[in-house]
Amino acid sequence: MSKGPQGDLLAEPFCDEVVHQIKFGGTLHSYIPVAEIIARLNQVLGTGGWSKEVICVRRNEIDNDEVTAHVRVMAVVDGNSVTKDGMGGTRVKRTRQDNRIVDLGNDMKSAVADAFKKACQDLGVGLYLARSGDALALEAYASLASLALSRLNWGVLQRDISNTFLVNRYRWTLQTQLHHPWVETWDPIRQVPQRSV
């Protein structure tokens, strides 16, 4: 995933109205329709900034009721040529009455769409849906900490560290040499003792 303006735009979360849910294997999964992924690629990279190639789509040799696909996505993201491959699959749908295949072409199209979405996920599109909540929270925390550190004025920080050192040294001198009871609360910046009662 690219860490530039286009990479950030590709990885932006989709609005809730676009994200669909499907129950699979007893678990609810969120997904983004292929049309929305294509729209995001066109919006961020332009229609000529990416392309896809279907490497293969076929019925699985081990389980003939499974269709698998391999798709390659090529793109120019933030000035860099990127190639991502994705594998996907789907079950062949059959009629309940006589177990005939409903539409093998549609099943192959579904496998290609799944593989395409996996390849785009490697570009950052919709990746947040596949990540755990803990990982996203940690990344957000690290990002905020990095932002806070980057905004610190190093000169001000050095001055504050230096002032703290001098203040503590001055307090120590007053305590050890003059033995004043109010020295522990002395504020040399304001030049007044803060008396504690």
Query: What confidence tier does 93 reach under pLDDT thresholds 50, 70, 90?
Result: very high
Strand order in the sheet with 66-77: 50-59, 66-77, 80-91
Provide, rounded to the nearest whole percent, the portion of the chain with pLDDT above 70: 65
Residue 34: pLDDT over 60:
yes
Predicted confidence (pLDDT) per residue in 109-136, tens digit:
999 999 999 999 999 999 888 876 666 5
Q: Phi, psi (5° rounding) for residue 168?
A: -65, -40
User: What is the predicted pLDDT for the residue at 183?
Assistant: 47
Under a CB-based contact definition with an 8 Å cutoff, are residues 119 and 84 in contact?
yes
| pLDDT, mean over the chain | 79
pTM to 2 decimal places: 0.66
**What's residue 132's pLDDT?**
64
Determine if residue 137 is left, alpha or beta; phi over 0 gives left, psi from -120 to 50 gives alpha, anything else beta.
Answer: alpha
Check residues 133 and 92 and name the one with the higher pLDDT.
92
Q: What is the dihedral of CA 24, 30, 36, 37, to 10 degrees?
A: -90
Sign of CA dihedral 42, 34, 105, 103: negative
Q: Which domains does the chain have, with CATH numbers?
A: 5-149 (3.30.390.80), 154-193 (no CATH)
DSSP state of 175: I
Average confidence (pLDDT) over 23-50: 90
Kindly state the percentage of the chain with pLDDT values over 90: 44
